Structure 1
C-alpha cells in the first residue's frame, strides 16, 4: 500500500523547477493510513463477530478491552502526542527519524489488528 501511494504521488505531481521529483518528506508518513485502516478493520471485525452469534468466533472480553484501548490510544491520544513531539513550530516534521518511528508505530497498530483477526477467525 505504501509503495503504491508513493508511486501515485510521484506520478501525479509535476516536480518543481530544478528538481527531478516532487516527493517530500511528508509523503513518507503512512502511520495515519495504517492506524485508520486497523481501527476500521478491528471495529468492523468486532461488530461482525458480535452479530454472528457463533460461539466459536466470539471474542473474549480481555481481547475486546485491549482492542478498544488500542483504538483509543491510536485515534485519540496519538495525534496530539505526534504534533507536540514530531513537528516543529512551523508545522514541518523534524526529520526522517521521526517519520520512521511514526511509521513503525502505525505498522504495529496494523499488525495488532491482523493478529486480533487471526485469533478471532482462525488462520
Structure 2
C-alpha cells in the first residue's frame, strides 16, 4: 500500500513542480500564462512507466531474477498501448482539428490513463523485486 501512495504522491509532486515552473516562466502582468495543455501529464507518466518497466525487466534479467509472465504481459501492454497506440487515440479523440484539447474531461481522462500506466509499472516492479 505504501508503494501506491508513494508513487501517486511523487507523480503529483512532479506534476505540481512542472506546472509551477510553467506558471513562473510564462507569467505576464495580464495573465498567468498557463493553458489547458499545461495540465496534461499523461505523456510524462506513460513514458516514465515504459522506461522504468523496461529498465526493471532488463535489470532483473541480468541479475537472473525470475520474472512472472504477467509482468512481461504488463510490459507489453504498456509498450503497445501506452507508447504505440495511445498517442493516435489521443490525437483523434481528445484534440480538435486546430490542435487544441477539447476540454477538461479529456485532460482528466488522459491523466488518469497515464497514472494507470504508471501504477501498472509499479505493480510489475514490486512483483519482481518485492516491496
Q: Report the TM-score when normalising by structure 1.
A: 0.91
Question: Which residue of the other structure, out of 58, 64, 75, is the alignment partner of 1:67?
Answer: 75
Residue 4 of structure 1: aligned partner: 17
Q: Note if contact 2:74-2:121 (Cα within 8 Å) is conserved in structure 1.
A: no
Residue 124 of structure 2: aligned partner: 116
Task: Report the Cα offset of residue 35 of structure 1.
Answer: 0.2
Task: Report the Cα offset of residue 12 of structure 1.
Answer: 1.3
Task: Report the Cα offset of residue 65 of structure 1.
Answer: 2.4
- In structure 2, stretches of 5+ residues that fail to align are 1-13
| CA–CA separation in structure 1 for the residues paired with 2:74 and 2:110 | 21
| CA–CA separation in structure 2 for the residues paired with 1:38 and 1:51 | 20
Task: Report the Cα offset of residue 71 of structure 1.
Answer: 1.3
CA displacement 1:82-113 (0-9 Å, x = unmatched): 10000001000000110000000000000111
> 1:69-84 alignment to 2 at 5 Å?
69-84=77-92
Flag the structure with larger Rg: 1
Matched, 1:14 2:37: no
Aligned residues: 118
Task: Report the Cα offset of residue 11 of structure 1.
Answer: 1.1
Residue 51 of structure 2: aligned partner: 40
Residue 107 of structure 1: aligned partner: 115
| CA–CA separation in structure 2 for the residues paired with 1:99 and 1:35 | 14
The two structures, once aligned, show a CA RMSD in angstroms of 1.1
